[in-house]
Chains A and B, each alone.
Chain A
């Protein structure tokens, strides 16, 4: 039938074309995937936690005496200098209120004092009368002595009586003064707070000076009010002297040590700040996490690196996000986390080699959110499949998904 060579060639070509078509139609479809190259680079494993920037030394100024604190002359943020700036003025306490009984007793005491004064005044009058009589008696005695009708002694006795009367008058007069003072005292007890003329006492106020050069961080007592001695009035600190305070989980805190590098992000500024761990508290405390779990936390303090101008806008108790580097290697072999999956107990990746996915078991060391440190199983330059789908198995043909213009 297919006698001529031409027919045979055509038939053969057709057959080959048909077979090729079938081979193509039934060949396993190539799965487009995202690939990443295994490279050497830096891996940093960090302990991340939210923290606050705090002024290292905060001075709390408290009231030295009880009394009425006048309205604060300062606003938060005002600069103060040591010994120069008055940060508070306190007017010592006004009298207490009299209750009903005390008031009546005081009124009665005033009455008694008034009566006592009258008594004393009467005593003066009596003393004066007695002095007058003694004087006239002395004059009479002196004239009688000249006429020698009475003895010298009588005259001396009269003179003595005058002197005695004078002394009695002085006593009585002094008694009046005492009684008058007593009346004043009794009246003073009746004074109610606010009724007295405050103006009289302005001179008596206590001024509190600033202990350091710095800025007002907080004012606890802003409005004029009566405070007891020792009440905190305001906080003063030097905002240029900041540190970062982070409460870490105790299990994380043991992995870091003083001097470790930390990155300070999300503090609002565009620039990433760096800091060093300066102190890890030796004692922890319990706190309930946002997930609602009770955990032990440890306060860790960090010193910011660089000149204070870099973080001049950062203030006291401002929120920051600290990432403390617990492990770091500059030339680690890196495998992307999104390429990893479990094969049995081992970690595995799909390597794209010769257009097909090949499963390789690998060993990894440290890892962070993006990369894991490759210990063994891959070579530099190997290309691994990211986010391998369930369509990919060992030997599945794969190709790089075309992602021109992609932002990743």
Chain B
């Protein structure tokens, strides 16, 4: 072991606390990077593997009633690899001991058991026996929500007829990873279940003997889906086809995609910010740490060590710290990433999980960490090496304390000597102070960023559920009904208010751009469904034309006054030209509204509606549910209020856990940075503090100068961290935006408050730790010039 290496070892031992703090800051940055990228990659790969193994289809279409022989023709469309036809329908369910309405989606299984596409993963039990029409397989999340196991029975209302079904298995399907009920904005496992029954049973139940109403296709590699969809539509149109669509518009896939996109946004925005901040901080801290070695560098040079060897020695020193940090970061990142993936996997009920940690992520995180350390180190070392050994070995010339900015402002006229000294320290080394402030502020900004996702989601929910969709529940009918049905609904028990609306599946076209959406016709003066303009002010639905959500307008590239082609995708397939008369704010999904009278006049089927929003008197809820149970023409009842509570719980689990992880990492960075800043500050000032002691200042007075400096720096850093944090949040939330969710940018006051609290607490803690060192300052050792 050479002398230099021994020195390296001793230095590390001497500075272990500081070194560990720096290593942890870097580790936190690296961990976020590894964890977010790993979780995203794992979930992405898991979904991919799930889709491939269970043959998730590429193209989907529904019809009213298409004959079975058509399947063969569809299979012969050029580019189609396989087709799987089945019967799907909404149903209502009755489960013993559950009073609230439960909706279900029934899917038929072919007699041979597993369908060709969208195969089921049987978690427990078995598939239904084709000879036993009453056997059913249910999806896992629903089974868990109600504690249903194979052997349990439940009642389904299929096409208005009650049918007793026996659960024989619990399964998962790649097409329903995200199980969203009709009209639901958020999944609600207790109120929406998926049911697979035998084909014969489904044919009998829905009166579709020898027919199907839903088909899924897989395409050959490289086939343009639109060509296949056009041909498919042509074949299905006579049988009430409503137009084919790709995975992009398949509900479960689209939502899962949106969630993955958000995860990706988290992994591309948060970790780089964390890593960049960590890199900046270790760069700054190490540079200052090395700068303190000035005398020793001079000494080493004087002893005849070559510049390169000296530099190498310090590079080794920082590398040791950085490598420890990076390794801790890798380990923590992989561990946390796996945890997050498992959590998400549990939420989505994936049959298996594929863990993946892309090697390039490790390489990038490691490289950034080491580079930041090296650059800081080399800069600092070479600055000293430029000096002649004699100059370097002497203590740096004391800074010139003259009447600077401090005095000129006149702010401190009459201030005590100590106060003056404190402020002079800060203001007369502006670059160093600014860097310190910026370092602490960026660490604080990470906290703001991590905490604010909650504020934004809170705001989104408040606007979506208490300002625009304010109904307690929505009753959806099996078909269009005359508008007077709203009077019938109003007379049901416990209804406080009822407002009918009409939805039509449409394709909106503007130039070459098109989008399939559900056009909603609402009545002027509707109170439960309120349209908000871009400034979130309520306004009435325009008498003519379309009120389009901003995201949809953006997709179609339309503005107020533009005309779009509205093609109805129901059995009539009519097309109209309508003018966009308003742009509205919408955070969930894509929405487009028009006046009910105007819409029904266009559609030409009288004042027909197909759903009613209601607000409910809680006291009579049970009576209402009981009545709705026995009402044949109701196809589904969406409980918005209960879904909301459920959503909050889910959100608490998913988003909060990742928030907790990020917050903890941010706290580590904050504490590490503040502690290091204080330590370096002390080392830099040690000579001055010792001199003051020699001049007769008490320990308390000297400490107060030091603590005052830290206080000033942190106080300046706090507002800056708020500003930086807000900017980081804007960057993150903007990347979150998908077709299905948009989140307003909100940073709550409490978020700022907590950030300030953590910064101050970290400073106080660091100050307490460092202050002991001031008191224990060895005056002789500090003031002695080493030779």
Is B415 a contact of A389 with CB atoms below 8 Å? no
Asked if A289 and B488 make an inter-chain contact with CB atoms under 8 angstroms apart, the answer reads yes
User: What B residues does A24 contact at CB under 8 A?
Assistant: 749
A338 & B414 in contact (Cβ 8 Å cutoff) = no
Closest chain A residue to B455 by CB distance? A29
Contact B538 A407 (CB under 8 A): yes
Interface hits, B474-491 → A, CB 8 Å: 481-482, 484-485, 487-491
Complex interface: stretch among A2-10, A99-107, A131-139, A153-161: A2-10
Query: Residue A338 contacts which of B418, B458, B462, B615 (CB distance < 8 angstroms)?
Result: B615
- Contact check, A290 vs B704: say whether CB atoms are below 8 A apart: no
Q: Is A148 engaged at the interface, CB distance under 8 Å to the other chain?
A: no
List the one stretch of B146-154, B656-664, B750-758 in contact with chain A.
B750-758
A369 to B485, CA, bound (A): 15
Per the bound structure, the CA–CA distance linking A96 and B142 in Å amounts to: 75
Give the residues from 301 to 328 in chain A that come closer than 8 angstroms, CB to CB, to chain B: 321
Chain A positions within 8 Å of B615 at CB level: 337-338
**Known pairs A50-B487, A387-B466, A406-B539; A290 contacts B416 (CB<8 A):** no
A1-B418, A7-B419, A342-B618 given; A291·B634 CB < 8 A:
yes
Q: Are B750 and A29 in contact (CB under 8 A)?
A: yes
Quick one: which of B400-422 are within 8 Å of A by CB?
413-416, 418-419
Contact A25 to B752, CB < 8 A, known contacts A340-B496, A391-B462, A407-B540 = yes
Report how far A70 CA is from B379 CA in the complex, Å.
114
CB distance from A46 to the nearest CB of B (A): 10
Q: Does B778 contact A (CB under 8 A)?
A: no
Query: Within the complex, which residue of A1, A252, A403 is in contact with B538, where a contact is CB–CB below 8 Å?
Result: A403
Chain B residues within an 8 Å CB radius of A2: 416, 419
Which chain B residues in 616-634 approach chain A with CB under 8 Å? 617-619, 630-634
> A55 at the A/B interface (Cβ < 8 Å)?
no
The answer, among B419, B617, B753, for a CB contact under 8 Å with A22, is: B753
B497 touches A369 (CB 8 A): yes
B425 within 8 A of partner (CB): no
* Residue of B whose beta carbon sits closest to that of A50: B484
CB under 8 Å from chain B, chain A span 366-408 = 367, 369, 387-391, 403-408
Neighbour of A291 across the interface among B419, B485, B749, B753, CB < 8 A: B485
Q: Please, which residues of chain A bring their CB within 8 A of the CB of B458?
A: 391
Q: Is B465 an interface residue (CB 8 A)?
A: yes
- The answer, yes or no, to whether A285 is at the interface (CB within 8 Å) is no
Please give, as numbers and ranges, the residues of chain A lying within 8 Å of B539 by CB-CB distance. 406-407
A249 at the interface (CB under 8 A from B): yes
| Contact yes or no, B414 A342, CB < 8 A | no
Of the candidates A4, A25, A293, A388, the one having the most CB atoms from chain B within 10 angstroms of its own CB is A25
Chain B nearest CB: distance from A361 CB in Å? Answer: 13
**CB–CB B631/A3 < 8 A:** no
Measured CB to CB, the closest approach of chain A to B509, in angstroms, equals 30
Nearest-neighbour CB distance to chain A for B203, whole angstroms, equals 23
Kindly supply a per-residue 1/0 record for chain B positions 178-221, scoring 1 wherever the CB is within 8 Å of any chain A CB and 0 otherwise. Answer: 00000000000000000000000000000000000000000000
Chain A window 273-292, contacts with chain B (Cβ cutoff 8 Å), 1 for yes, 0 for no = 00000000000000001111
Which of A290, A291, A369, A406 is packed against the most chain B CB atoms within 10 Å?
A291
- Whether, in the assembled complex, B493 has its beta carbon less than 8 Å from a beta carbon of chain A, the answer is no
Q: Please, which residues of chain B bring their CB within 8 A of the CB of A387?
A: 466-467, 470
Residues A4 and B414 in contact, CB atoms below 8 Å apart = yes
Query: For residue A289, which residue of chain B has the nearest CB?
Result: B488
Measured between beta carbons, the chain B residues less than 8 angstroms from A290 are 481-482, 484-485, 488, 633
Tell me, yes or no, whether A330 is within 8 Å of chain B by CB.
no
Is A97 an interface residue, CB under 8 A from the partner? no
**Complex CA distance for A390 and B416, rounded to whole angstroms:** 54
B701 within 8 Å of A (CB atoms)? yes
Task: Give the Cβ gap from B283 to chain A, nearest Cβ, in Å.
Answer: 31
> What B residues does A249 contact at CB under 8 A?
491
Cβ contacts B429-467/A at 8 Å (1 or 0 each): 000000000000000000000000000001000100111
A6 touches B618 (CB 8 A): no
- Candidates A4, A22, A342, A404; contact of B416 at CB < 8 Å: A4
A28's nearest neighbour on chain B, judged by CB, is B750
Whether B748 is near chain A, meaning CB under 8 Å from some CB there, is yes
User: Smallest Cβ distance from A29 to chain B, in angstroms?
Assistant: 6
Considering only CB atoms, which chain A residue lies closest to B606 in the complex?
A319
Cα(A1)–Cα(B415), bound, Å: 10
Indicate whether B527 reaches chain A with its CB closer than 8 angstroms.
yes
Decide yes or no whether B649 CB sits under 8 A from chain A.
Answer: no
A403 contacts across to B, CB distance below 8 A: 537-538
Q: Chain A 90-118 against B: per-residue CB contact (8 Å), 1 yes, 0 no?
A: 00000000000000000000000000000
The verdict on A48 contacting chain B, using a C-beta distance below 8 Å, is yes
B692 within 8 A of A: no
Does the CB pair B619–A345 fall under 8 Å?
A: yes
- Within the complex, the shortest CB–CB distance from B246 to chain A, in Å, comes to 37
B227 at interface by CB-CB < 8 Å: no
B555 at the interface (CB under 8 A from A): no
CB within 8 Å of B: which of A1-49?
1-7, 10, 14, 18, 21-22, 24-27, 29, 48-49
Closest to A5 in B: B414
B619 engages A342 (CB within 8 Å): yes
Q: How far is the CB of B202 from chain A (nearest CB, A)?
A: 22
Closest to A251 in B: B491
From A21, A26, A408, contact of B750 by CB (8 A): A26
- Give Cα distance in the complex from A24 to B618, angstroms: 36
Interface string of B741-772 (1 = CB under 8 A from A): 00000001110110011000000000000000
Contact of A389 with B537 at beta-carbon distance under 8 Å, contacts A291-B488, A292-B632, A338-B615 already known: no
Contact with A along B697-709 (1 / 0, CB 8 A): 0001100100000
User: Which residues of chain A are near B538, meaning CB under 8 Å?
Assistant: 403, 406-408
Chain B nearest CB from A346 CB (Å) reads 9
Q: Mark A349-372, 1 if CB is under 8 A from B, else 0.
A: 000000000000000000101000
Q: In the bound complex, how far is the Cα of B538 from the Cα of A404, in angstroms?
A: 10
B462 and A342 form a contact (CB under 8 A): no
Q: Which of B579-631 contact A (CB under 8 A)?
A: 615, 617-619, 630-631
Chain A positions within 8 Å of B757 at CB level: 22
Which chain B residues in 625-659 approach chain A with CB under 8 Å?
A: 630-634, 644-645
Cα separation A297 to B617 with both chains bound (whole Å)? 26
A1 touches B488 (CB 8 A): no
A5 to B413, CA, bound (A): 11
Nearest CB in chain A: distance from B646 CB, A? 13
Cα-based distance from A369 to B526 in the complex (angstroms): 11
Whole-angstrom distance from the CB of A10 to the nearest CB of chain B?
8
Known: A292-B631, A389-B466, A408-B538. A25 touches B484 (CB 8 A): no
How far is A399 from B630 in the complex, measured between Cα atoms in Å?
A: 43
B631–A291 touching, CB < 8 Å: yes
Most chain-B CB neighbours within 10 Å: which of A1, A24, A389? A1
Asked whether, in the complex, the Cβ of B465 is within 8 Å of the Cβ of A389, the reply is yes
Which of chain B's residues have a CB closer than 8 A to the CB of A338?
470, 497, 527, 615
Given known A25-B756, A26-B749, contact A292–B633 (CB-CB < 8 A): yes
Instruction: Considering the complex, give the chain A residue whose CB is closest to the CB of B413.
Output: A6
- Which B residues are CB-close (under 8 A) to A49? 484, 487
Q: Which residue of A50, A252, A341, A389 is within 8 Å of B462 (Cβ)?
A: A389
- Which 6 A-B residue pairings sit nearest by Cβ, starting from the closest? A25-B753, A389-B466, A292-B632, A290-B485, A342-B618, A292-B633
Ordered by A's residue number, 27 sampled pairs between the chains whose C-beta atoms are within 8 Å are: A1-B700, A1-B704, A4-B416, A7-B419, A22-B756, A25-B752, A27-B749, A50-B487, A290-B481, A290-B482, A290-B484, A290-B633, A291-B633, A291-B634, A293-B488, A293-B630, A342-B618, A369-B498, A387-B470, A388-B466, A389-B465, A389-B466, A403-B537, A404-B537, A406-B539, A407-B539, A408-B540
Q: Residues of A at under 8 Å CB distance from B? A: 1-7, 10, 14, 18, 21-22, 24-27, 29, 48-50, 249, 252, 289-293, 321, 337-338, 340-342, 345, 367, 369, 387-391, 403-408
Given A290-B485, A387-B470; 10 other pairs, CB 8 A cutoff: A1-B704, A2-B419, A7-B416, A10-B415, A25-B753, A290-B482, A290-B633, A338-B470, A342-B618, A407-B538
